[in-house]
Amino acid sequence: MPSDFSKTQPAPAAARRTTCGTALKNWGWLHLLILTFTLALAAATAFNRPDTTTNLDALLLVLAAAGSISALARQLPLQSVLFAAFITALIGGAAHGLSARTGLPFGPLSFGTTSGPQLFNTVPWTVGLLWIVALFNSRGVARLVLRPWRRVKNYGFLLMGLTAVLALVFDFALEPFARLKHLWLWQPTKIALTWHGASPLSFLGWTFVSLLILAFIMPYLIRKQPGNPSTPDFSPLALWLGAIVLFSVADAQAGQWAAVAVNGVLAGAASFFSWRGAKW
């Protein structure tokens, strides 16, 4: 037998596990760095004029999307997470573009110049990133809340449903902020009841699109390796709550105290149930 035969053999399982563990540890530090910079930048921009949008806002959104992706990449293959992010941005952006053109599924709206350059002269490039932040972190919060039920038969459907609800809460908090920043403008409809310009049709459309996106991406976000459940990951909750707090600070500066109060109740409920589920 040749003396160098051992060099051609695959590495022992223990060595492979060590290498993978080191890679995950390094990726975890990168995620922590992104998360720290995101929250620090959010704190730095929170007290800007609520009716203006700067390049820092766009940078904050990019960092938040990167943090949302890196959080999942610590548990799942990076290529699966990136594909899910692409699908999320594509469907979410297309839905907003369609609504700007036809009024469906969210209702008639027009985008302001503060939203950034538009793709295909229809939808700002920031909208796709916004969907990644909303859905990925809503899913992370939902996983915390549902930890006590992670072994039940219908867990996947429960996760999809709660993720859509939390994404709807995110949108509910976003709408007053978006109006202050002139990110988009809702056109009048026959429905008199609105929330800072957004009609119930907008929130129904957001829920429908969220469920549609989740139906496409959930198969790519399933952990396929057997083993014990991972420890609770609070970074999605940090990003989700960070966004709500940022929206609320702008609302408070503009004197929109009803929106601040609603945001506080919703954020408090999500935090409580996340903490309770994480202890399980």
Residue of higher predicted confidence among 53 and 141: 141
Residue 166 corresponds to which amino acid?
A: L
The reported pTM is 0.87
CA dihedral 105, 134, 46, 268 (to 10 degrees): 110
Return d(Cα 18, Cα 176) in angstroms, integer. 48
CB-based contact 109:99 (threshold 8 Å):
yes
- pLDDT > 90 fraction of the chain, expressed in percent and rounded: 66
Give residue 50's pLDDT.
67
CB-based contact 115:127 (threshold 8 Å):
yes
Q: In a 3-state reduction of DSSP, which class is residue 76?
A: coil
pLDDT at 13 > cutoff 60: no
Give residue 80's pLDDT.
95
Half-sphere exposure of 256 (CA within 13 A, CB side): 23
Map out the domains of the chain as residue ranges: 26-223+233-278
Closest CA to 169 of 79, 264, 81: 264
Residue of higher predicted confidence among 182 and 211: 211
For tokens 């890679």, the residue is 23
Mean pLDDT of the chain: 86
Closest CA to 93 of 65, 114, 54, 120: 120
- pLDDT > 70 fraction of the chain, expressed in percent and rounded: 84
pLDDT at 24 > cutoff 70: no
Return d(Cα 262, Cα 264) in angstroms, integer. 5
Q: Hey, which residues does 109 pair with through a beta bridge?
A: 186
Contacts of 237 (CB under 8 A, 6+ apart): 137, 140, 141, 144, 270, 271, 274
| Residues 123-148, mean pLDDT to the nearest whole number | 96
pLDDT digits (tens, 9 = 90+) for 160-207: 999 999 999 999 999 999 999 889 999 988 888 999 999 999 999 999
Q: Where are the alpha helices (DSSP H) in 112-151?
A: 126-145
Give residue 245's pLDDT.
92
Return d(Cα 171, Cα 165) in angstroms, integer. 10
Contacts of 149 (CB under 8 A, 6+ apart): 155, 158
